[in-house]
Amino acid sequence: MDFEFSEEQLAFVEEVERFLDDHDDPDVFDVTRENMAQIVDTPKRRQFMAEVGKRGWLGITWPKEYGGTEGDGVYEYLLNESLARRGGPQIGKGVGIIGKTLIAHGSEKLKQEFLPKILRNEVEFAVGYSEPNAGSDAASMQLKAVRDGEGWMLNGQKTWTTSAHFAEWYWVGARTDPEAAKHFGITLFLVPLDHPGITIKPIWTMGDERTNEVYFDDVWVSDDYVVGELNRGFQYISEALDLERFTLFTFSQIDARLDLLLEYVKSATLDGEPIAEDPVVRRRIAHLATEAEAARLLGLTFVYRSSRGGAPPTAEASEYKLYATELSQRLADAAMDIAGPGSQLRVHTEDAPMKGRSESTYRYTVIDTIGGGASEIQKNIIARRKLGLPKNF
Crossing angle between the packed helical segments 314-339 and 233-247, to the nearest 10 degrees: 40
As to burial, measured by CB atoms within 10 angstroms (0-12 exposed, 13-18 middle, 19+ buried), residue 174 is: buried
Sign of the dihedral defined by the CA atoms of residues 77, 81, 82, 83, in that order: positive
Over residues 194-206, the pLDDT tens digits come to 999 999 999 999 8
* Alpha helix stretches (DSSP H) within 218-313: 233-247, 251-267, 279-306
How crowded is the C-beta side of 231, counted as CA atoms within 13 Å?
Answer: 11
Question: How many whole angstroms separate alpha carbon 236 and alpha carbon 103?
Answer: 12
Mean pLDDT in the chain? Answer: 92
Over residues 244-261, the pLDDT tens digits come to 666 778 999 999 999 999
Question: How many whole angstroms separate alpha carbon 188 and alpha carbon 138?
Answer: 12
Q: What is the 3-state secondary structure (H, E, C) of 110-127?
A: HHHHHHHHHHCCCCCEEE
Contact criterion met (CB below 8 Å) for 167 and 128: no
User: 3-state SS of the chain: helix, strand, coil percent to 5?
Assistant: 50, 15, 35
Over residues 263-281, the pLDDT tens digits come to 999 999 998 999 999 999 9
Question: Given the DSSP bridges, would you call strands 198-204 and 210-222 parallel, antiparallel or unpaired?
Answer: antiparallel
In the chain, % of residues over pLDDT 70: 96
Largest CA distance in the chain: 77
Over residues 8-65, the pLDDT tens digits come to 999 999 999 999 999 999 999 999 988 878 899 999 999 999 999 999 999 999 999 9
* pLDDT reading at 214 higher than 90: yes
Interior CA angle at 39 toward 35 and 44, to 5°? 135
Domains located in the chain, CATH noted: 7-90 (no CATH), 126-231 (2.40.110.10), 249-385 (1.20.140.10)
Q: Please, what's the b/e burial string for 180-193 (b: 16 or more CB within 10 A of its CB; e: otherwise)?
A: eeeebbbbbbbbeb
With CA atoms as reference, report the closest residue to 97 among 344, 317, 301, 362.
317
pTM comes to: 0.90
Question: How many whole angstroms separate alpha carbon 267 and alpha carbon 124?
Answer: 44
What band does 310 get if pLDDT is binned at 50, 70 and 90?
low
3-state secondary structure of 265: helix
